[in-house]
Structures are given as C-alpha cells and as structure tokens.
Structure 1
C-alpha cells in the first residue's frame, strides 16, 4: 500500500455546530469546503466534517493534536468558553496532555512533547 494522503472523517449529529467548533473554537484552518462538508488542516493530515451521523460516540476513538504550548492553548480555549474534560498533566509516558470533547463527544487529546522527551531527542547512536 502506498498512502499518498490521509484524513479522519467525522459524521456529526449537527454538521453546522461541529464545523463551527473546529473552525471558530479550535481555530483549525480550512483546507477546502464543498456542498455537505468541510476539510480542515490537521498537522500532517486532514479532518473532514461530512454528512450526518446518528451513532453515539465512543471512547475508543480520539483525535491526538500536538500543540507547541499546551498551557497557552488551554488558556486560549478557556477564553472561548471551552471546559476541559481533563486538566493538563504529565502522563506516565512523558507527554503533557489535556483532554476535551467536540460537540458530539469525540475526545480530543491536546499534547505537548517536552523538550527532553524521546520524540524530540535524536536516539540514533553517534557516528
């Protein structure tokens, strides 16, 4: 398989409310809009809000969004009235995370990678 691009598809109960949340509250940039849907830039991928869903959300699925500064991001979201599901904290695996939910209950994990974390450190053997 040769994957050229990827995106996550969400089928919200109310597309207008969910689109507004990702656009106006989270501030994601729009990649493209089309009748019945909006695609947002999501770092190295895309998030597409399309169609209408009726199924209840599950904790088995979450969006993982890496941010530069978790404290600043949380403060900005609080200024917009967002209530976190879980306050920022350092996880046992060394990442700083805060959790919130979109209007349909999809969990969003905001992640800051500390400067000394292995994801930022070159672990290759010196030459």
Structure 2
C-alpha cells in the first residue's frame, strides 16, 4: 500500500466548541474547510473535525502531538482552562510527556523530544 496522505477524523459532540478548542486554544492552522467540517494541519498529518459524535471518545483513542517545549505549552494551555490530565514528566523511554483533554475528553499527549534523545541524534558514522 502506498499512503499518499492521512488524517485522524474526530466526531465531536459540539462541533463549534471543538473548533474553538483546536483552532483558538491549541492554535492549529486550518488546512481546509468544507460544509460541516474543518481539517487542521498536524505536522505531517491532518486532523478533521466533522459530524456529530456520541457520548465521548474511547480511552483507547489518543492524539499524539510533538511540540518544541512541552512545559511552555502546558503553561499556556492551563492559563486557558484546558483540562490537564498528567503534568509533563520525563518518561522511561526518554521523552518528556504530558497529557491534556479536548472538550469531549479525547486524550492528547503533548511530547517534547529532548536534545540528547536517540530520535534527535545523528547515528550515522562520519
């Protein structure tokens, strides 16, 4: 399979409330709008908010967002009243991770990759 593009589709209980959260609170840029839906840029992917959802997301569904400075983002989001689930901490796998929730309870992992983490090191021999 050759994948040309991808996106996560979220069906919120209140579309306008979720649009305000992703656009105004998280500050995601809009890639495309269409009747009944909005697509946001997510780095190398997309997030689509459309339709109407049921009582809430599964706890197995998670949005993972890599950010430059996780602690700064947490301060900003906390100041805007975002629900903080877990404060940022260094995980055993070496990433700095914290968790927040969107208005419907979708868990969002905010992750910073430290400068000395293997994901940021050039392991090629010179």
TM-score by length of 2: 0.95
Quote the residue 1:29 is aligned against. Answer: 29
User: Post-superposition shift, 1:56?
Assistant: 3.0
Question: What number of residue pairs does the alignment pair up?
Answer: 126
Q: Is there any run of 5+ residues in structure 1 with no aligned partner, and where?
A: none
TM-score by length of 1: 0.94
* 1:85 to 2:46 alignment: no
SS at match of 1:16: helix
What per-residue deviation string (whole Å, max 9, x for no partner) do you get for residues 59-116 of structure 1?
2110100000111111111221223111110111000011001111110000000001
Distance 1:115 1:109 in 2: 19
1:1-127 matches, cutoff 5 A: 1-124=1-124, 126-127=125-126
Distance 2:57 2:112 in 1: 25
What per-residue deviation string (whole Å, max 9, x for no partner) do you get for residues 14-70 of structure 1?
111111110111010111111100000000000000111115322211010000011
Distance 1:55 1:82 in 2: 19
**Conservation of the 8 A alpha-carbon contact between 2:68 and 2:112:** yes
SS at match of 1:85: strand
Distance 1:14 1:86 in 2: 24
SS at match of 2:100: strand
Q: Is there any run of 5+ residues in structure 2 with no aligned partner, and where?
A: none
Distance 1:115 1:8 in 2: 28
Task: Compute the RMSD of aligned alpha carbons.
Answer: 1.1
SS at match of 1:119: helix
